[in-house]
Amino acid sequence: MVENKWQHFVPEFYFKFFSRDGKLINGFNLKNKKHFKGAISRHCAMNYFYSKNIEIEKQFSHIEGIFNVVLKKILQRGDFSDLTGKDYFEILRFLAFQYSRTEQSKKVAEDLTEKTFDKIIKPLMKADKELMKKISAPDLDKVKLTFPEGFLLSTIYSLESHILLADMAPVLLVNQTDKSFVFSDNPVVYYNLIYYRSRNDPIGGIQSPGLLVFCPLSPKYCILLYDPEYYGLKGEEKKILKVTDVLSA
């Protein structure tokens, strides 16, 4: 078996924050509406998800080790007090990186490549009279363009885009309800309440004013980044906010 070909897009260490034994995880399949319990190692992973160049997976694993150490500091203390400035920037890097590396992000990148080719490149090719003497329009319509490295490049670039989150204010949500925080195969959520209210069109770009970033760290803790220019939090003390009510959707 080729080492490092089974590549996770949600790291195993993150699953363990929600596991009782560090090996198994309870889950719910949205498609078949069934609960399940399975091995952490088998979830949110695919063969050669990033690349057949296994050195990339090795480097990602090394980076994950850094993230694991820093996030454990929060879980052990229940606050941000043990974090250095460097630690905090590693948290921002984890959030940006994890948001960009999921299966859904990969599908978005592939869809963008396909639509760019179909909507922009093909019309330009059809307008080239010399080219169209060599290929018919129906044959050109059958041509598909794939660029697997496009997703990989955006994932790698995300490791440098964390600085764009540096102007946001951090808060640790502490769950004091009888319901646990949960996560999905897209554990980092970008949401923009300001745009949703004004346009019914939630924009989650990393540079969008009014951005909110959520990332559960365990059944009890969740990181929240918010734009202080647009939001104010009542009851916040030492960057901690206790969640005492369960709101129904």
Question: Beta partners for 34?
Answer: 29
Return d(Cα 74, Cα 118) in angstroms, integer. Answer: 47
Does the pLDDT of residue 198 top 90, yes or no? no
Does the pLDDT of residue 52 top 70, yes or no? yes
How much is the average pLDDT of 93-121?
92
The alpha carbon of 210 is separated from its chain's Cα centroid by a whole number of angstroms, namely: 18
Average pLDDT, the chain: 89
Return d(Cα 30, Cα 145) in angstroms, integer. Answer: 31
Helix (H, G, I), strand (E, B) or coil at 149: helix
Is pLDDT larger for residue 149 or for residue 240? 240
Q: What is the DSSP string of 218-236?
A: SSSEEEEEE-TTT---TT-
Question: Beta partners for 27?
Answer: 36
Minimal CA–CA distance to 120: which of 138, 147, 145, 99?
A: 145
Q: What is the pLDDT of residue 190?
A: 92
Is pLDDT larger for residue 33 or for residue 235? 33
Q: What is the pLDDT of residue 249?
A: 43
**β-bridge pairing 221-226 and 169-175:** antiparallel
How much is the average pLDDT of 152-156?
88
Does the pLDDT of residue 199 top 80, yes or no? no
Q: What is the pLDDT of residue 148?
A: 76
**CA distances in angstroms from 105 to 54, 116, 181, listed in the order given:** 20, 16, 23
**CA distances in angstroms from 179 to 75, 110, 166, 171, listed in the order given:** 18, 36, 31, 20
- For 159, phi then psi, to 5°, come to -65, -20
Can you give the length of the chain in residues? 249
Minimal CA–CA distance to 17: which of 111, 98, 123?
A: 98
Does the pLDDT of residue 8 top 70, yes or no? yes
How much is the average pLDDT of 6-24?
95
For the ranges 56-65, 121-130, 153-162, which has the lowest average pLDDT? 153-162
